[in-house]
Amino acid sequence: MANPKNKKSSLTDAQRAEIDALRGATTPTRRATVPALEEILYEPLPVLDHGFVRVIDYMGDDAAVVQAARVSYGKGTKRVSEDRGLINYLMRHRHSTPFEMCEIKYHVKLPIFVARQWIRHRTANVNEYSARYSILDNEFYLPAPEQLAVQSVANRQGRGDVLDGKEAARVLDLLREDALRSYAHYEEMMNERSDGTVIDSARSGLARELARMNLTLGFYTQWYWKTDLHNLLHFLSLRADAHAQYEIRVYADAMLETAKRWVPLTYEAFEDHGLGGVRISAKGMVVVKKLIAGEAVTQEQSGMSKREWSELMAVLGRST
């Protein structure tokens, strides 16, 4: 994992000072704590060019999941092997409520277009930086050249082949020019710089809540995002998937590392049944059973659509 302190541009001096103060303090508690997560508590994990993810707070651990599942038995077992077996059972049979007993809160800095995709996960508490009250920093996302690709022909919401050098350079120039121009106009309309200084004392500035509409979706915003473990894993199962958009997937990848530190037994089960597992429909199971029995099955005989059939064959490692 990259050193969180390598990308100083991701944090303001005030944020860095706050993090240093929080990490320098020790608070006695009787609550369960997780040393591996405590190691990175408050520290930003760099994502993209100016973004980050950092854990602000958490409640519970693997033992809390087990305790919730065995509430009628009180404290539950202390044997890791038994806890692992129970957590695997809960994950395998999709018993979600024990995982809802754990919560985690993140501070995330991300491009606005990623935030608009992320917010579709509605099972969380969110408080976003307000451009009605404050001025957004002049920070915008510029993709790496290898992330600039044409529209996919097969997937309407995906990418195809990577642009060649000249085309990629032109796209980056356009993105940069548009962002710089829109930010300059943003400051001009407000008659105010990001540091609070007035540009022209002889005129009034447009309200911040109106001036912000000029900014592109590539500019960075920030929010606090709190969710329970069950819904975090659901988010990660979708956004850490290879089919997810790259710009949100890298955030999910960083959050996977925090989950692994926080609840290692749950993460192990999630890797097996969530990230590495697959769901097969009833029709798909009929096909699988026939194939195991040595029978020949075609897409037309299966009653599945061409897309469903292709997906099933890909899962089974068979050519369509």
Which residues are marked as active site? 239
226 vs 127: CA distance, rounded Å: 9
- Here the tokens at position 60 are 């519970």
Q: CA torsion 298→302→306→312, rounded to 10°?
A: -90
Backbone angles phi, psi at 153, to 5 degrees: -80, -35
Buried b (16+ CB within 10 A) or exposed e, 254-270: bbbebbbbbbbbbbbbb
**Which residue type sits at 210?**
L
In whole angstroms, give the CA distance from residue 272 to residue 267. 9
**DSSP character at residue 140:** B
